Amino acid sequence: MRGWGSVLPLVFVHGLIGPLADHRTLSLLRPATVVCPDLLGYGAETDAADITIEAQVDHVRAAVDRAAPDTRVHLVGHSVGGVIAMAFAHQYPNRVASVVNVEGNFNLGDAFWSAQLARMTPREAHDLLAADRADPARWLRDGGVEPTDENISSAAEALAHQPAGTLQAMAHAVVEFTGRSQYEPLLRKVFQDVPVHLVAGARSRAGWNLPEWALGAAASYTEIPHAGHMVMLEAPEAFGNLLLDLGQR
The pLDDT value recorded for residue 5 is: 47
The pLDDT value recorded for residue 68 is: 87
pLDDT tens track for 39-80: 999 997 776 678 999 999 999 999 999 988 888 999 999 999
The answer to which of 100-104, 110-114, 136-140, 154-158 has the lowest mean pLDDT is 110-114
The pLDDT value recorded for residue 48 is: 64
User: What is the 3-class SS of 12-73, one letter each residue?
Assistant: EECCCCCCCCCHHHHHHHCCCCEECCCCCCCHHHCCCCCCCHHHHHHHHHHHHHHHCCCCCE
The pLDDT value recorded for residue 7 is: 61
Mean pLDDT of the chain: 92
The answer to which of 20-24, 52-56, 211-215 has the lowest mean pLDDT is 20-24
Query: Could you tell me if 227 and 202 are in contact, meaning their C-beta atoms sit under 8 angstroms apart?
Result: yes
pLDDT tens track for 78-94: 999 999 999 999 999 99
